[in-house]
Structure 1
Amino acid sequence: MSEDTKGPLERYLSILEVVLASGKGLTVAELGQILDLPKATTHRLLAALNGAKVLDVAEEGRRTYRAGARLARMLTLGTDENMLINFCQVVCNELVNELEETCYVVKLSSKSAYAVAVAVTDHSYRLHVMPGSEMPLHAAASSRILLAYQDDAARRRYLGAPLEKITPLTKVRLADVLATINEARRNGYATCLGEVDPSTMAYAVPVFSPGGVIYAVGVTGPQFRISKWPHDELLQRLRSAADKLRRMLEMSTS
């Protein structure tokens, strides 16, 4: 079908369909040939889609266009929520057997961060995190690592409400909270020591899912038990669990 018989929306949708079908991405020339579009028109449409973060540009020997973060997030939204929760629960159940502490997966929504799956052990003296419970955006380790991979405008939007002083150790000055989030981004993990509960400690790592970082895997428990774990070993186990969840999420949106 030639360009003059297609409306603008149809041409954009055609590009997205072909790019998604290709799997590995396509060049301007390949897209123009497949869709029978002039090179200038193809360039213009791709520039608009790239500017909207629906498509990304990859430079790996040749310039190709692939599904971008925004498109991936849209596809994730269309995935069966029950299946996603089941995947998260599988990861939590396996991780709790290794760490013998409360393990959980947290998801970042448009307004909050909340636990989608939780697994506890018999010796958990209390349940620190429950499925569906919101995590303090300024204090929880999981929230910090999720915000660490958002842009500055998004961080400030999430942290726009007055920040609650949950414990004497909770940071409530925006500059201090943003500093801990920046530190989490540099380190690739976040911690929470007595800021949500005076006696607990938590670690969380990001899940690099198809839609960007909107999931985090965490562990929490009494400080005296969590602190006994060798730092690198604890992080390695969390990251292995996060990587497994990433693979599950990729499969669910493929």
Structure 2
Amino acid sequence: MAEANDVSGPLERYLSILEVVLASKDGLTVAELCRILDLPKPTVHRLVSALANAKALEVVDEGLKTYRVGVRMSRMLTLGRDENALINFCQVVCNELVNELEETCYVVKLAPQAAYTIAVAVTEQSYRLHVSANSEMPLHAAASSKMLLAYQDEGSRKRYLSGPLEKITPVTKTKVSEVLAEINKAKRDGYATCMGEVDPSTMAYAVPVFSPGGVFYSLGVTGPQFRINKWPKEYLLDRLRASADKLQRMMEMVGN
């Protein structure tokens, strides 16, 4: 019978795999895990398959069978994060961005049942719109929410979009198939838009904030359509992406 403090059993091997995959950031192949952990290939195959089935790992490259942290483990990791420090970093990024773009900037977090803002910086022009601190963002209509759903698995997308979708404005999409098509386009393009779908007079752009475990935060800018349109789209996206990269580096400091 194994001793209580035995660290050579199956649980230790599962934890070792998760630990090195987390440390790798970009993921590891079975061959790389074998070399790092000095385990036989059949054993690693069995362990990663079990972890993938439990959504603690996921395959990001079918050709090379590269494994990275899965959605379930990512959500578990967020439970131990210093939320106050993260929100402070989000606010810093929003404050810097609003000074540059002179439009409302915000960070949205994907929770188990909804997406909501955790940091907002408003322009001095006081056009606050529908975005305020701790406001829930429509999962089927807001640019920030669509960007978050773009990086979730198919089952999660369908769960978030289950139930009737509200017709908020005349152009709000309420068919799941149409919303999914827009979400897939956001994934391909690397950004999402909201053109009068939440407020008829406004528009928004949003980009993902990447982390080793997935995308659970997005960064957006919104304002009246006539003001947002004064900026070249690529300029807005460049500024959003640069700020999202900075926020990603900040998040890594608090263990996200």
TM-score (norm: length of structure 2):
0.84
What's 1:204 paired with?
206
Does 2:33 align with 1:27? yes
Give the alignment's Cα RMSD to 1 decimal: 2.8
Matched residue, 1:44: 46
The whole-number CA distance in structure 1 between the counterparts of 2:228 and 2:160 is 28
Quick check: 1:88 aligned with 2:90? yes
Displacement of 1:84 in angstroms is 1.0
Native 8 Å contact 1:145 1:206 kept in 2 = yes
CA distance in 2, matches of 1:117, 1:140: 16
Other structure's SS at 2:221 match: strand
Cα distance, 1:51–1:97 mapped onto 2, change above 3 Å: same
Report the more deviating stretch, 39-48 or 142-151. Answer: 39-48
* Offset of residue 30 of structure 1: 3.4
Instruction: Quote the Cα distance in structure 2 between the aligned partners of 1:217 and 1:108.
Output: 12
Alpha-carbon distance in structure 2 between the residues aligned to 1:19 and 1:151: 20
Distance 1:74 1:194 in 2: 35
State how far apart, in whole Å, the 1-side matches of 2:224 and 2:112 are: 31
Once the two structures are TM-superposed, the CA of residue 46 in structure 1 deviates from its matched residue by 3.6
Change (3 A) 1:193 1:16: closer
Kindly, what percent of the aligned residue pairs are identical? 70
Cα contact 2:122–2:128 (8 A) shared by 1: no
> Residues 4-62 of structure 1: CA distance to partner in whole angstroms, max 9, x if unpaired?
x6543344234444665688865314313xxxx66643443243234444346799xx9
Q: Distance in 1 between matches of 2:77 and 2:147?
A: 23
Tell me the residue number matched to 1:194: 196
Structure 1 residue corresponding to 2:176, chosen from 174, 177, 185: 174
Match for residue 239 of structure 1 among 226, 238, 241: 241
**Structure-to-structure mapping, 1:93-172, within 5 angstroms:** 93-172=95-174
- Offset, 1:233: 0.4
1:55-108 CA-to-partner distances (Å, cap 9, x unmatched) read 46799xx99866555434432331111111111111101100110010000011
In structure 1, runs of 5+ residues without a counterpart are: none
Deviates more, 1:50-59 or 1:168-177: 50-59
Secondary structure of 2:254's partner? helix
Q: CA deviation at 1:184?
A: 1.3
1:185 aligns with 2:187: yes
Which structure 2 residue ranges, 5 or more long, are not aligned?
Answer: none
**Amino acid corresponding to residue 208 of structure 2 in structure 1:** P
Aligned-partner SS, 2:109: strand
Match of 2:228 in 1: 226
Please state whether the residue corresponding to 1:137 is helix, strand or coil: coil
Render the CA deviation track for 1:195-251: whole Å, top value 9, x for unaligned.
Answer: 111111111111112221111000111111001111110110011111111111122
Say if 1:18 and 1:157 are closer, same or farther in 2 by CA, change over 3 A: closer
Secondary structure, aligned partner of 1:27: helix
Residue in structure 2 matching 1:54, options 29, 53, 56 = 56
With over 3 angstroms needed to count, the CA separation of the structure-2 counterparts of 1:112 and 1:7, relative to structure 1, is same
Task: Specify the code of the residue in structure 1 equivalent to 2:83.
Answer: E
Provide the aligned length of Structure 1 versus Structure 2: 246
Displacement, 1:128? Answer: 2.7
Letter in 1 for 2:93: V
Letter in structure 1 aligned against 2:190: G
Give yes or no for contact 2:22–2:212 (8 Å, CA) kept in 1: no
* Distance verdict in 2 for CA 1:180–1:8, change over 3 Å: same
1:22 and 1:177 map into 2 onto residues whose CA distance is 34
- Work out whether residues 28 and 43 of structure 1, in 8 Å CA contact, stay in contact via their aligned partners in 2: no
